[in-house]
Amino acid sequence: MSDLPLKDVADLSEDDARLELERLAKAIAAADIAYHQNDAPEITDADYDALKRRNDALEQAFPELVRTDSPSGKVGAAPAEGFAKVRHGVPMLSLSNAFADEDVEDFVVRAKKFFMADILRDPGFKLEFTAEPKIDGLSASLRYENGVFVKGATRGDGAVGEDITENLKTIADIPHKLSGSGWPAVIEIRGEVYMTHEEFRRLKEHSAKFGGQDYVNPRNTAAGSLRQKNPEITASRKLRFFAYAWGLAEDGNGNSQPPAATQWDFVQSLRSWGFVTNDLMLRADNAEALIAHYRMIETQRASLGYDIDGVVYKLDRIDLQQRWGFVARAPRWAIAHKFPAEQATTILTGIDVQVGRTGALTPVARLQPVTVGGVVVENATLHNEDYIKGIGNNGEPIRNGVDLRVGDTVIVQRAGDVIPQIVDVVLDKRPADAQPYVFPHACPACGSEAVREHNEKTGKLDSVRRCTGELICPAQAVENLKHFVARDAMDIDGLGDKQVTQFYAEGRIARPADIFTLRARDERSIKKLKDADGFGATSVKKLFDAIDARREPELDRFIYALGIRHVGETTGALLAKEFGTIEKFRETALAAAQHEDGHSLFPQISGIGETVRSSIMAFFANERNVQALDDLLVEVKPKPYVVVVSADSVVAGKTVVFTGSLEKMTRSEAKAMAERLGAKVAGSVSAKTDILVAGPGAGSKLKTAQDLGVEVISEDEWFERVGK
Ligand SMILES: [Zn+2]
């Protein structure tokens, strides 16, 4: 890090060295925790490596000062709380790093020296090395027993990782059963879980649409996705896996059984067993060829579609690896040749503010075009106004608290990020007249006041400033229309972003309802659509027909299409299921919105939390939103959500009462399930009640039921009976 006193090691006194080692141990430990446990690195990889190198140099010069908690003896951080721990059969390694070509040459020379006797004795002795890209993902170890995937774990601290078996099973590249033959009875396959740039972009766009979290880079997103408590979330993230090594490998009797004679052969075997391996692998017997391969991969880095942070060289023959052995916990026979961080210096020429569908004002940095890692960068994300000021999401300083000013010379980084970021400001080059950036308090699109809301839960100011213009804001209106017609919402053929933007600009549509009156208005208009740019009589008729074809949309799509903040597709479906009709939803939400204690009027729906409920009520509290919905409902009749009633179920026609606290479902879920099975759900026990489902804490209803001789069953018995 730039603020560390990088005195030459030889000039340091013992006291200086001791203090610096202490500081380094703390800094590296903090960085390890941020990186491995919280998936949120606070310093760049290059800075981190610099700290490690400095630490190594100091330890070498002052061996008597090596700390008991020395970072050089550590691989990563201990596992995070919450997942079961898994002890790896063979520890997962960390590699020594090489940064310069000379380090690679040294590595090859060291190998030659170590095996000199063999080289001299046997003219046919070949010392070969493999070179493979180092994937910037999350290391995982997969245990297969008799060819079946039984347990998967993160690296953790190298010895003990977290059990993420269920999450790993959702990754298509990971075979549940090995194909082919020749695999040991028990084998730990090692590899890297990663996320492609394409998937990362998709996720980011999706999240931006729903006002969700901001993903930093593919690596952290992959890590976060892999450590979800709910494997379905992991499955939805489309993670990938490259296999490249093994840990434990044993035959059926517990004897060690290396699965191949060389690393090269092993990777071929991995393919035949059904794993995906990286194509950019090379085998060579000299440093020049290895370095040339590194350069070749470096030039391809930007276009690979996934992040890599270097190239790994390994001694190819497994028997020779075993002979050469380890130093501390790193193998002598392998080394990681790291890429320099992809950074470039340029000038911040301006800051633009864009307005999203939910009114969020997002600043974007305009940069003097510069090439970073093979890609021309002209824009960088600035997230929000605090970010420009040098303040992070939790109030912590970023860029050492330095703000960004137009005219600043800045350092731009694409270290794995698809969207470039400004990592630093060169303060020496700040123009004397540079002014602090003043974030607009008015919406650049409509002039309405833009405010930062107080988050009720955290008591903090929301990091996002939002335009309060809502429906009068043209930027929000256009984004809302785009959302409304989108494929996953109303899905109107021939009406996409481009047409919506054009129609809005031409004054043809301003709100969703206008889409459905377009044909009638066009017939009366003298400025007919068929004469407009890019249209003809046929395409206009087709468009109008496509619009008419969507006048009876599915209820869940319709609710989602309304664009209520935090209401995504899943929530739309939950609401549709709960309310059944748009009228019922509108009536309930409106009543809740107008009530002092609205939350008590809005039903508790499993999967819908307070944030979503508040957001729905806020939507309905706005008269203009209600008016827009009502106008839309004049034109559109969403289909009622059909609940499939199975009349032949054992509870069909029965009257059921639920009481006490249910543990496996919410009360509304229980009610919905019973109704779906053809039962009638009542609120109180009477002589007409057939079944009382009583959870713990059941009181008077249970007593009444017992007095009346009504059948009483537990929640578990209920599930048994209905066969769920
Ligand atoms: Zn606005």
Within-domain flag for 324: yes
Q: Which among 65-74, 88-97, 670-679 has the top mean pLDDT? A: 88-97
Q: Which residues pair with 451 in a beta bridge?
A: 466
Q: What are the angstrom distances between the C-alpha of 411 and each of 132, 415, 424, 437, 460?
A: 30, 12, 5, 18, 30
* Cα(106)–Cα(92) distance, integer angstroms: 24
Q: How far is the CA of 443 from the centre of ligand 1 (A)?
A: 4
Q: How far is the CA of 208 from the centre of ligand 1 (A)?
A: 17
Q: How far is the CA of 473 from the centre of ligand 1 (A)?
A: 4
Mean of pLDDT over the chain: 86
Both 138 and 245 in one domain: the answer is yes
- Span 581-620, pLDDT tens digits: 999 999 999 999 998 888 888 888 877 888 889 889 989 9
Q: How far is the CA of 471 from the centre of ligand 1 (A)?
A: 8
Task: Give the pLDDT mean for 287-310.
Answer: 90
Cβ partners under 8 Å of residue 64, min gap 6: none
Burial of 591 (0-12, 13-18, 19+ CB in 10 A): middle
* Cα(174)–Cα(270) distance, integer angstroms: 11
Q: Which residue would you say has higher pLDDT here, 68 or 657?
A: 657
Predicted structure pTM score = 0.48
Tokens of 525: 């208009």
Please indicate whether residue 134 is annotated as part of the active site.
Answer: yes
Within-domain flag for 645: no
Q: How far is the CA of 384 from the centre of ligand 1 (A)?
A: 16
Domain that holds residue 26: 9-74
pLDDT at 541 over 70: yes
pLDDT at 683 over 50: yes
Residue type, 712: V
Q: How far is the CA of 439 from the centre of ligand 1 (A)?
A: 14
Q: Give me the CATH number covering residue 585.
A: 1.10.150.20
Question: 35: which DSSP letter?
Answer: I
Both 252 and 318 in one domain: the answer is yes
Q: How far is the CA of 511 from the centre of ligand 1 (A)?
A: 15
Q: Which of 7, 112, 134, 639 is catalytic?
A: 134
Both 435 and 318 in one domain: the answer is no
Q: How far is the CA of 392 from the centre of ligand 1 (A)?
A: 25
> Phi first, then psi: what are they for 433, rounded to 5°?
-100, 10
Q: How far is the CA of 560 from the centre of ligand 1 (A)?
A: 22
Residue 35 — very low, low, confident or very high, per pLDDT cuts 50/70/90? low
Please report the beta strands in 19-123, taking only residues with DSSP state E, as ranges in sequence order: 85-87, 96-98
Both 569 and 659 in one domain: the answer is no
Tokens of 638: 């969403």
- Span 609-667, pLDDT tens digits: 888 898 899 899 988 889 999 999 999 999 998 765 555 677 888 899 988 887 777 67
State the DSSP H helix or E strand holding residue 645, giving kind and residue range, or none if neither. Answer: none
Helices then strands, counting H and E runs in the chain, come out as 25, 24
Both 427 and 300 in one domain: the answer is no
Domain end residue (candidates: 635, 667, 694): 635
pLDDT of residue 138: 93
Q: Which residue would you say has higher pLDDT here, 228 or 169?
A: 169
Task: Give the pLDDT mean for 98-117.
Answer: 92
Residue 250 — very low, low, confident or very high, per pLDDT cuts 50/70/90? very high
Residue whose tokens read 């450590």: 227
Task: Give the pLDDT mean for 257-262.
Answer: 94
pLDDT at 75 over 50: no
Within-domain flag for 90: no
Q: What are the angstrom distances between the C-alpha of 126 and each of 55, 129, 325, 717?
A: 36, 10, 18, 70
Domain end residue (candidates: 419, 434, 468): 468
